[in-house]
Structures are given as structure tokens and as C-alpha cells.
Amino acid sequence: MMRSNNRSAPWLGALVGVLLVASTAFLVARFAHARDTASKSLTPLSATRQRAPSPNPQSTSPGSTLSMANWVLTWQDKFNSTAALHKWSFVLGNQGGPALKQLQWYDRSNASIRGGKLVITADANGGGHQCWNGPCHYTSVRMQTHFAQAYGLFEARIKMPAGGGLWPAFWMVGDNYNQVYLPRAGEIDIAEVSNHPPATRLTGFAHAPKLYYRAQDVLPQPLSAGYHDYAIEWTKSRITWLVDGKAYGHLNAYPGWPFNHPFNIILDLAVGGNWPGPPTSSTHFPATMDVDWVRVYRAKG
């Protein structure tokens, strides 16, 4: 009996160690990305693709109805003049600071129109403002459309910035956010970049109560090398993530999903945070997120 006990002790210790490592890995993965508070209850789902570029960014892709003949334009911003910015409201302050550990102060003056494009600038100048961790060291922009729509094709042509600690995003939130907040309002991240290696990786997300969905694509060139068309095709039964006309992620409707009412569009360039980490010594400022246009369509019929 004594011999048996002595032999079982290392086995039990090894089992406990394995369980602790697995539990730690699960928790790290579970909370590696969250835009709202850490109190979410999440059901992880994911999809990943790696592929060559499309020869025709507007071509119809398998699993998608991205033939433009199927859509009617309902809203757009081509950023031809400063008047285009009147279609947006601007967040001011260190929103995203305490919960997400972001380091920027959002300031409307960091959004400008240059050469028919929206330029969102993250600058290493805190403007004398106070952030959650003391004096702010960065300013940037978060802007949201007054327009909201349920279902359709939502797309933007964007050149993403590169650099550690930069967190650019083209995303959407339910227009009832101020009443029910996240995650109940629902969140769709059409294109979101952590700037972790590799520089070719694109991610999209969906957040809701008991849902954490991640779609991922790996492009042939770094996202910062040029403009790409980032989009979702959203119906009553499914959300599909696309880049340059090619689908790389799908989320099917489920009982109680909150993606059944109008959503607003958000353009955002955060600095630092739980997901990307702080800027590094090699991160160049000012950094820009350049947006050629944003368009929204509804399906014909």
C-alpha cells in the first residue's frame, strides 16, 4: 500500500500541472481580445483563411453575393470635402482607457480631409489632457456615423497603419448602445488589426452575450502596404466577412442573436491597450489610417 501511494504522487502532480496549464491557456485566449468590459460571457468560434490576392476586387466570391447588381446604395461618404465630416459624430476623451488600457485622447482635430481621403492621425502629443494612467501621451480619433441600418453590405476602402501598439478598426455597434450597452447591443468588427506579427494578418470579430466570434485572413502583403476593401455582408440569417471581395468568415444566426436591428459605423485608431500592447520604440508617429470611402447598400427586392 505504501509503495502504491509513493508511485501515484508524481502521476497526480503531473495531472494537476497539465490542468493548470490548460486552464491558463484557455483564460488567456478567452480574454485576449475584448472591446467592452472583461465581464463578457463568451462562446468562442473562429474561422481562418490564407490565400492569394483576388485579380478582381469586385468579383463575386464563393459563398458571397457580392455582385454589385444585387445591391442598392443607401449611404456613402467619399470624403471629397470637410463637409463630409458632418455625417459623423466624434468621441472626445480617453474612452477605452480604464477598461481596455488604451492610451489615446480622442480629439476631433486629428481627423482631416486630404486629397479626397479621410486621414485619421494618431500623434505622440497628449495635448495636456489627463488619461486613466496620468498625463496623456497620444491623441487620435474615434468617429461614428449618425446613419444606422440593419442588414446589407457595409464596406470601406482603407489603408491601415503599421506599428506596435496601433489598434485601427472599422467596426459597428447596435444603435441601442446607450440604452443596453455592450455586449447586449451587439458589436461587429469588420476589420480590426492588432499589429502583432505577422503584418499580413487581418481579423474580424462579432461580440454578443455568450458569443465571441473571430474570423482571420492572411494576405500576401502587409495590410499597411496599400488600400483594401473591407466589408461584411449581413442578412437575417448570416454575417459574412470579406476582404477585396473574398469571403473569409461566416457567422450563422442563432436564437437570441442581437444582430437584428440597425447598427452605426465606427472608424477608430486607438493607441495601446490590452490587445496590441503599448507602442514600441520602433512605432512611428504621427501614424495615419487613410480611408478612401465608406459605403452601405441594401439588398434589392
Q: Which residues are catalytic?
A: 187, 192
Cell of 294: 465608406
CA distance 37 to 140: 21
Residue with cell 466570391: 61
Residue 68 CB contacts under 8 Å (≥ 6 apart), including other chains: 58
Residue 236 CB contacts under 8 Å (≥ 6 apart), including other chains: 151, 253, 260
Residue with cell 444606422: 148
- Sign of torsion over alpha carbons 263, 269, 272, 276: positive
Residue 220 CB contacts under 8 Å (≥ 6 apart), including other chains: 52, 53, 200
Q: Amino acid identity of 244?
A: D
Residue 213 CB contacts under 8 Å (≥ 6 apart), including other chains: 44, 45, 46, 205, 206, 207, 249, 251
CA distance 125 to 210: 38
Q: 49: buried, middle or exposed (CB in 10 Å: 19+, 13-18, 0-12)?
A: middle
Q: Amino acid identity of 180?
A: V
Q: How far is CA 286 from CA 93, 125, 183, in A?
A: 19, 9, 32
220 secondary structure, DSSP code: S
CA distance 16 to 75: 56
